Amino acid sequence: MQKLNLLILLVLGFVSCRYNKEEVLFPNSYCNTNEVRYGTTIKGIIAQYNCMNCHGATNPFAGFSLHTYDALKAKVTDGRLLGAVSHSPGFSPMPQGAARMSQCDINKIKKWIDDGAPNN
């Protein structure tokens, strides 16, 4: 009987550990920054947080546009993009009048910037 109980525990242990990927085990806390690209990831974040409402192409309400890669890259170069989205002291927190971006989205922006902010 004791051997049967041990066997059952071993089988249950193996079955319960069939997933060993963080994104499967902890879907709400996993942030994949492995494939951050301007054309998909960064533009998607800008769209998700409605950045173009104030930073659109024509006569941007905020004084500058993020409509093109070059315009966004200028804000990366002067440090204003990461400072604003991460709510760093001395920067106007963005998105203005809305909740802070998720830490995952901020991490993706930082990763893209750390990789040289490529136009990919």
DSSP sequence for 26-82? -TTT----TT--IIIIIHHHHHHTTTHHHH-SSS-TTSS--SSHHHHHHHHHTTHHH
pLDDT at 8: 67
The Cα 120–Cα 117 span in angstroms is 9
| 72 compared with 5, residue with greater pLDDT | 72
Helix (H, G, I), strand (E, B) or coil at 109: helix
pLDDT of residue 97: 85
pLDDT tens digits, 80-91: 999 999 999 999
Q: What is the mean pLDDT of the chain?
A: 82
Question: Which of the four pLDDT bands, split at 50, 70 and 90, describes residue 13?
Answer: low
Q: What is the CA radius of gyration of the chain?
A: 21
Instruction: State the Cα–Cα distance between residues 37 and 21, nearest whole angstrom.
Output: 23
pLDDT value at residue 104 = 95
